[in-house]
Structure 1
Amino acid sequence: MTIKEMIEKRAKLIKDARALITAAQTEARSMTDEENVQYDKMFKEADELRTNIEREQRQREAERELEELAGEGEERGAAAGGDRGEQRGRADLLMEAFRGFLTTGQPTGDGAEEFRNLAAGVNTEGGFLVVPETFVNLLIKAMDDEVIIRQLANVIPMTSSASIGMPTLDSDMGDADWTVELGTGGEDDQMRLGKRIMRPHPMAKRIKVSQQLLRTAALSPETLVRQRMAYKFGVTQEKSYLLGNGDRKPLGLFVASPDGIPTSRDVSEDNTSTAVTAMGLISAKYSLKAGYWSKANWLFHRDVMKQIAKLTDNEGQFIWRESMRDGEPDRLLGRPSRMSEFAPNTLAASQYVGILGDFSHYWIIDSLIMQIQRLTELYAETGQIGFIGRYEGDGQPVLAEAFTRIKLGA
């Protein structure tokens, strides 16, 4: 099924699901058990189609990038001239050597010597190495695709310092005074400046890959390693960007903190203790200054989004609109709505269930010291090779008023 066909099928499912709700509202009754089961089935299938659409889009983008990288290598090789080794780009040679390292433990090809020069702290268990530049870029891009917050946040590479400091305007000066031509206005001492500091925290993951798979797989070994590590690192990051407590990990959007988003940015008005309401979402939207609306996004778990998709305003119009264009998110009260599997989904009194905000005010720092350790002997008896990936980074909201958290009633 093509992307266009999947989009059309998803649109029909959502339309049919709405028809069930409209029929019940027209007859001034609640939906029957059978209708609820049918609605949930339609919404689940529509959500699966959304996932498949996004997966296909990511796959096409990854293939396009690989083609571009291959083209750049050929162009560099053609420009260099000379023998076969000179005709290939430096990145291609390093990648060939890296494939050999992942497969056999030894770099191979014309770039093997230069690759060895990149090795740092080699030991008897396989050694650490600084990953070739192309591999690092692919890994970071894959994490961007897997983790929704990274797509919306302000991501800052940090390659040389141990921390990053951000000046903050903790309190502003008062308004200016009308005065005479030579007057200077009253002295003001209300303005206060502060500083927030972010430091990269380490994260690691170990995976095992069959030696036979490394030798015979249709995908290249570094692609296999990249895909698995991108998933594991991406899941850990997504959880922390949403729910992390800030202790040796990022500070999450759904964690009340004076260093991030305090409880003063929580809105539960008009929501019940078990459900989000249309009026509650309207109250949340208007608790955010209009200046942030142009870049604001909603974020919910799909369980909460399923409930929201049934809501109508006082005119009987649905407040949620599905997207009909490839690559565009659905919209809620005029702003894009996003979903994350790791957003809160406990529909109980006083629980967080969503957030609206300009996510460019969530900052993520990446320390690009990416290391891979190859474990050869540890899993020799089972015919497997182990790989340990390491990443360092941090994240936190830096401007509380750019966000509004949606909370259920007490």
Structure 2
Amino acid sequence: MAIEKKDIEEVAKDLKGAFEDFKKANDKELEAIKAEKGKLGEQVDTLNEKLGELDQLKTELEKELKAAKRPGAVVGKEADAHKAAFSQFIRKGREDGLAELQQKAVQVGVSEDGGYAAPPELDESLLEILRQDNVMREECGSIIISGNGYKKLVNVGGAASGWVGETDNRPDTDSPKIKEIIASMGEIYAKPKSTQQALDDMFFDVEQWLASEVAIEFAEQEAAAFLTGDGVKKPKGILAHTLDLKNDKTRDFGKLQKFVSGTAGNFTYDNLIDLIYGLRKGYRNGAKFMMNGLTVAKVRKIKDLEGNYIWQPSTQLDQPSTLLGYGIAENEDMADAAADANAVMFGNFKRGYAVVDRLGTNVLRDPYSSKPYVEFYTTKRVGGMLLDSNAIKVLTLSAA
């Protein structure tokens, strides 16, 4: 069924109505006498769950609408020939001329481990599917490289200056400090299987199947690595970096500033305000909160000092629901609201962290190891790097 703008408008209308019902029920629960509180609490939880479902549905419909409008890729003769040869390799195991076509179309040779590079269309399709399934890819920056690694130099300031009179001496000043940051890379793999009979079916879209199957395997592994990965044979995630209570002026580059809630396992409106304004003004344009679904349900119940709900539903196309005026990136790999948990982040994630993809996905066809299935050993080199440690703030739910 084609997704239309009016479908999203209807969901947005339902979302707004559900939020009004939720506010009324939650206000009653807060004011209710103890005898009625249990029943109203169940009603609030039910409405809160419905809000989450409608908000997610609206977001998914918007993504589907964008995908339907995306223009197809334009390819040349060499790319077409490579794609056709690769399809025959996947379906039948035929390798005739594939190495030469691959070298012309993709500018890479055959991998040392065997196998062939997927056509650019399939590689781009895989990256697109991964963005849809992986909130970290969707929210963070993206760098595509052709080599095995990536590094860059960053100016972290440090040049001194001062006031002098017309005839005063001009003492030497410190030079600007340059830091080198390096992406932590790893090779991720998946081994989807198919029967030969399915591969022989001319109506079976083998490339789309391969991209989808690989994306399912990659997305779960990647999402966790970009958030908490230790950097050993995998990306180093945002929360794997050192957390420090010092502010941007006194904290070492490469360490993230954390705020402590003051209550083990809980946080308040004031904590969220501190998190927002702990981020410098230049970063707040484009900033978002990041938390899991249970924490989103929790913040829907919080009010500001004037009694207004700080979470507001979106009723406009391509406009997300907001928390204190900022969007929310829902990430189920974020910790639940528990004692000492890093349960909430706020920042400009595109400026703060980047996913680094090496160009190309490699596929090795194996019809022997898992008979009667044909196995496709698919590998991709991917990494992550903290670009700017001032761009992301962390809220730790701790008493001290």
Asked if residue 166 in structure 1 is aligned to residue 152 in structure 2, the reply is yes
Letter in 2 for 1:262: K
Query: Using a 3 Å threshold, how does the CA distance of structure 1 residues 181 and 257 change in structure 2: closer, same or farther?
Result: same
Distance in 2 between residues matched to 1:10 and 1:103, nearest whole Å: 46
8 Å Cα contact 1:329-1:338 kept in structure 2 = no
| Structure 1 residues 25 and 34: alpha-carbon distance in aligned structure 2, compared to 1, 3 A threshold | closer
Q: Give the aligned partner of residue 172 of structure 2.
A: 187
Q: 2:191 aligns with which of 206, 216, 219?
A: 206
Give 1:297's aligned amino acid: K
The residue number in structure 1 matching 2:127 is: 140
Change (3 A) 1:52 1:130: same
CA distance in 2, matches of 1:170, 1:30: 59
Cα 1:254–1:114, aligned 2, differ >3 Å: closer, same or farther?
closer
Residue 195 of structure 1: how far off its partner (Å): 1.4
Instruction: Tell me which residue corresponds to 2:249.
Output: none
* Distance 1:405-1:335 versus aligned 2 partners, 3 A rule: same
Deviates more, 1:163-172 or 1:11-20: 163-172
TM-score (norm 1): 0.83
Residue aligning to 1:355: 345
| 1:254 match: secondary structure | helix
Q: Which residues in structure 2 correspond to 1:65-76 (within 5 Å)?
A: 65=70, 68-69=72-73, 72=74
Which residue matches 1:83? none
Q: CA deviation at 1:26?
A: 4.6
For the pair 1:373 / 2:361, whether they are aligned, the reply is no
Partner amino acid for 2:137? R
CA contact (8 A) 2:99 2:116 kept: no
Q: Please give the secondary structure, in 1, of the residue aligned with 2:360.
A: strand
**Match of 2:93?**
105
How far 1:339 moved relative to its partner? 0.4
Structure 2 residue 233 is the aligned partner of structure 1 residue 248:
yes
Distance 1:369 1:90, change over 3 A: closer
Q: Is the 8 A contact 1:206 1:388 kept in 2?
A: yes
Does residue 118 of the first structure (1) align with residue 94 of the second (2)? no
Letter in 2 for 1:155: S
Q: Give the Cα separation in 2 of the matches to 1:29 and 1:285.
A: 36
Distance 1:151 1:273 in 2: 31
Matched residue, 1:48: 53
Q: 1:3 to 1:350 in 2, by over 3 A?
A: same
Give a deviation string over 1:353-377, Cα, whole Å, max 9, x none.
Answer: 0100111221222111310111112
The answer to whether 1:336 aligns with 2:327 is: yes
Q: Which structure is richer in relative contact order (CA contacts within 8 A, separation 6 or more)?
A: 2
TM-superposed deviation, 1:288: 1.4
Cα distance in 2 for partners of 1:190, 1:402 equals 24
Unaligned runs of 5+ in 1: 77-88
Runs of 4+ in 1 over 6 A off after TM superposition: 28-31
Q: How many residues align?
A: 380
What SS class does the counterpart of residue 224 from structure 2 fall into? helix
Give the direction of change, closer, same or farther, for the CA distance of 1:320–1:242 in structure 2 (3 Å limit). same
What secondary structure sits across from 2:345 in the alignment?
strand
Q: Please report how far the alpha carbon of residue 246 of structure 1 lies from its aligned counterpart in structure 2 after TM superposition.
A: 1.8
Q: Aligned partners of 2:210, 2:51: CA distance in 1, in Å?
A: 31
Structure 2 CA distance, aligned partners of 1:260 and 1:186? 27
369, 380, 385: which one pairs with 2:374?
385
Is the contact made by 1:260 and 1:396 (CA closer than 8 Å) also made in structure 2?
no
* 1:152 has 2:142 as partner: no
User: Which residue in the other structure is 1:80 paired with?
Assistant: none
Q: Secondary structure at the match of 1:292?
A: helix
Shift of 1:315: 0.3
Alignment partner, residue 290 of structure 2: 299
Larger CA deviation: 218-227 vs 20-29: 20-29
> How well do the aligned residues superpose, as a CA RMSD in angstroms?
2.9
- Given that 1:99 and 1:220 are in contact with CA atoms closer than 8 Å, whether structure 2 keeps it comes out as no
* Partner Cα separation in structure 2 for residue 254 and residue 30 of structure 1: 43
Report if the CA contact (8 A) 2:288-2:326 is conserved. Answer: yes
1:267 aligned to 242, 259, 276, which one?
Answer: 259
Aligned pair in 2 of structure 1 residues 103, 57: CA closer, same or farther (>3 Å)? farther
- Secondary structure of 1:295's partner? coil
> Is contact 1:178-1:185 (8 Å) kept?
no
Q: Which amino acid aligns with 1:403?
A: I
Question: What residue identity is the alignment partner of 2:102?
Answer: L
In structure 2, what is the Cα distance between the partners aligned to 1:260 and 1:372? 39
Normalised TM-score (structure 2)? 0.84
Query: How much does 1:7 deviate?
Result: 2.7
Give 1:315's match in structure 2, choosing from 296, 300, 306: 306
